[in-house]
């Protein structure tokens, strides 16, 4: 039986408060219709009629909590996703950065299971084989971070990786393809909540792609401002194929290439 709209609003508001207190996740930063739709699918599966009931189920079942967090923080990716955009990164953005810095500091924000960080590691290793670049991958999901650290990928996640790259950077195992140590050494993975945790500064390149799609406009705007502050002068923000930084100029960015925003060099 459906709740009346007013009661449903109160129920959802109470649920959001409790989730924030218990799991540190701020659902107010996500667009409500999409969020509710995804959560209601979870509720139906576990037989919860209200958000209050769903929360009480979460409190008793760690597996449900894991499913809930997976549902909220979408983890869909592959190496070299949107290959044409990574070609711009390879041929234009990285060479521009290398003119000013021999070693780069890169952040893959909302990295999921590390496909993007590994893509970056491949490109950096190909262009500058011996330089100790640093790639930080962060995500809110512990399970995804554990997988990122392992560096194990299935065939379908590597469909955009050439056979030459597969042979050079991966080793075939019974479970899939595992990254070789020469790439692994460039990467580190840490838990981080983009909506509430502090940001490090001095990055030459930040990738935040297909992460903010369900964030509210206000949360996105705040996030892009903080990314701007985190970049070193001349650094780039790389966003997803369906995303653009609204108010980029006001924030302080200049449009460099499609999906790439540059923080101007200090004068």
Strand partners, 93: none
Indicate the pTM of the whole model: 0.75
Q: Give the closest residue to 136 by CA, choosing from 87, 97, 187.
A: 187
What residues contact 85, with CB distance under 8 A and at least 6 apart? 238, 241, 258, 259
What distance in Å separates the CA atoms of residue 48 and residue 57, rounded to the nearest whole number? Answer: 8
What residues contact 79, with CB distance under 8 A and at least 6 apart? 115, 116, 118, 119, 122, 153, 157, 158, 160, 161
Check residue 76 and give its pLDDT. 53
**Count of beta carbons in the 10 Å neighbourhood of residue 35:** 18
**Unique residue bearing structure tokens 């100790």:** 132
Check residue 70 and give its pLDDT. 66
Check residue 3 and give its pLDDT. 46
Check residue 2 and give its pLDDT. 47
Q: Dihedrals φ, ψ of 239, to 5°? A: -110, 175
Check residue 80 and give its pLDDT. 87
- Name the token pair of 179: 């990254």
What distance in Å separates the CA atoms of residue 121 and residue 127, rounded to the nearest whole number? Answer: 10
Check residue 64 and give its pLDDT. 82
How do strand 231-239 and strand 203-208 relate by DSSP bridges? parallel
pLDDT per residue as tens, the chain (267 positions): 444 555 577 788 888 888 877 766 677 767 777 778 878 888 888 898 888 899 899 888 877 877 777 666 555 567 888 788 999 999 999 999 999 999 999 999 999 899 999 999 999 999 999 999 999 999 998 889 999 999 999 888 898 999 999 999 999 999 899 999 999 999 999 999 998 899 999 999 999 987 887 788 898 999 999 999 999 999 999 998 778 898 999 999 998 998 999 999 975
Check residue 1 and give its pLDDT. 41
Let me know if 125 is exposed, middle or buried by CB neighbors in 10 A (0-12, 13-18, 19+). buried
Q: Which domains does the chain have, with CATH numbers?
A: 5-72 (no CATH), 83-262 (3.40.50.150)
Check residue 211 and give its pLDDT. 82
Q: Which helix (H) or strand (E) covers residue 257, if one does?
A: strand 254-257
Check residue 79 and give its pLDDT. 87
How do strand 105-109 and strand 134-139 relate by DSSP bridges? parallel
């Amino acid at each position: 039986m459906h709740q009346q709209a007013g009661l449903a609003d109160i129920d959802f508001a109470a649920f959001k408060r409790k989730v924030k207190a218990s799991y540190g996740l701020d659902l107010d930063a996500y667009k409500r219709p999409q969020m509710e739709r995804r959560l209601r699918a979870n509720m139906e599966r576990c037989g919860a009629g209200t958000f209050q009931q769903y929360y009480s189920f979460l409190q008793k079942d760690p597996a449900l909590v894991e499913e809930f967090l997976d549902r909220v923080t979408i983890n869909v990716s592959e190496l070299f996703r949107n290959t044409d955009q990574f070609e711009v990164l390879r041929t234009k953005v990285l060479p521009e950065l290398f003119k000013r810095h021999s070693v780069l500091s890169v952040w893959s924000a909302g990295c999921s299971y590390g496909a993007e960080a590994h893509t970056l590691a491949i490109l950096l290793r190909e262009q500058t084989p011996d330089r100790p670049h640093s790639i930080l991958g962060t995500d809110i999901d512990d399970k995804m971070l554990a997988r990122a650290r392992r560096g194990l990928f299935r065939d379908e996640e590597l469909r955009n990786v050439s056979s030459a790259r597969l042979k050079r950077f991966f080793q075939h195992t019974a479970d899939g393809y595992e990254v070789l140590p020469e790439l692994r050494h460039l990467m580190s993975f840490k838990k981080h909540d983009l909506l509430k945790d502090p940001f490090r500064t001095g990055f030459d390149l930040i990738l935040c792609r297909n992460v903010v799609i369900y964030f509210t406009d206000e949360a996105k705007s705040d996030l892009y401002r903080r990314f701007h502050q985190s970049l070193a002068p001349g650094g780039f923000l790389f966003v997803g194929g369906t995303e653009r930084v609204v108010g980029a100029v006001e924030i302080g960015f200049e449009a460099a290439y499609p999906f790439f925003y540059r923080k101007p060099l200090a004068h």
